[in-house]
Homo-oligomer: A and B are copies of this chain.
Amino acid sequence: MSESPVPHDLPIYRRIADGLRARILSGELRDGDRLPGENALMADYSIARATARQALAVLINEGLAVPKRGSGVYVRSFKPIRRHGSRRLSREQWGEGRAIWDADTRGRPFTVDEVEVVREQAPEEVARILGGPDAWVRRRRYSVDGRPVQLATSYFPAQLVEGSPVTLPDTGPGGVYARLADLGLAPAHFTEEVRARMPAPRETEFLGLPGGTPVIVIARTAYTSPGSPVEHNEMVLDSAAYVLQYDFDA
């Protein structure tokens, strides 16, 4: 094929990917729509199979498309859950503010599975925060609409919660925080550290993540009013499923 001399000469697979991306972002191709497959791209652009795959891989790694074996490659949908960090200063109280991203704020039910409660040694970084390695550890996975969206691991100083309901799989109404309050250890102050990165294979598996989906990692420590750490919680979130919201005053 004759090529016109272009100063910014992008490789073929990039040009094809750019074209498909534009069609997705413009709304011409919508959530769940089928993209041109490998065979279609090979025919349309007179390219080899590997090149067509490379073009589609770009979009898959950007999280814009999802491949389905034996079926096709489809535009990916994004319907996040809104997670409120500091809800205390709800913006509805002081302004007619509106959210920039649409999110399903309706009470979609969370289900919890894979609950594991064990007594073990906390990793060094966590032990440094809690003041010692002896800990009760609660691991669980949260799902919404049958889809896993979050992995969470909580660490509690062993001597503080030993023999309490915090060490039981079912913590009853109000959850662990209510049980901590029963012990006179009500959390009063929180600090959260937020990162984003690509998932490890184990996280990809447990969260059922398609390619090109980063995870948000939140490390949150809860302190009592006197300032003693009572919980350290490490959460791994499907980034396509969440929008985090924080409200605060100057």
A interface residue numbers (CB < 8 A to B): 2-3, 5-6, 18, 21, 50, 61-63, 68-69, 80, 85-86, 88-91, 94-101, 125-126, 128-129, 186-201, 204-205, 208, 211-212, 214-216, 219, 221, 223, 227-229, 232, 234, 239-240, 242-250
Contact = CB atoms under 8 A, between A and B. Distances in A.
Contact of A208 (B2, B190, B214, B229): B2
A47 to B, nearest CB: 15
Given A2-B208, A89-B248, 12 more contacts: A62-B200, A63-B197, A88-B248, A91-B223, A95-B227, A97-B229, A100-B126, A100-B193, A189-B247, A191-B247, A192-B244, A194-B216
The 10 closest A-B pairs by CB, nearest first: A214-B214, A86-B248, A196-B196, A95-B227, A196-B239, A194-B244, A100-B219, A62-B198, A94-B227, A192-B246
Nearest to A102: B125
A197 B239 contact: yes
A165 B144 CA distance: 48
Contacts of A187: 250
Contact of A129 (B98, B186, B188, B219): B98
Dominant secondary structure at the A interface = mixed
Contact of A243 (B63, B128, B194, B246): B194
Given A188-B250, A198-B63, A246-B246, A193 B129 contact: no
Contacts of A98: 128-129
A5 B68 CA distance: 12
A80 to B, nearest CB: 7
A239 B214 contact: yes
Nearest to A25: B200
Nearest to A103: B193
A29 B62 CA distance: 27
Contacts of A232: 100
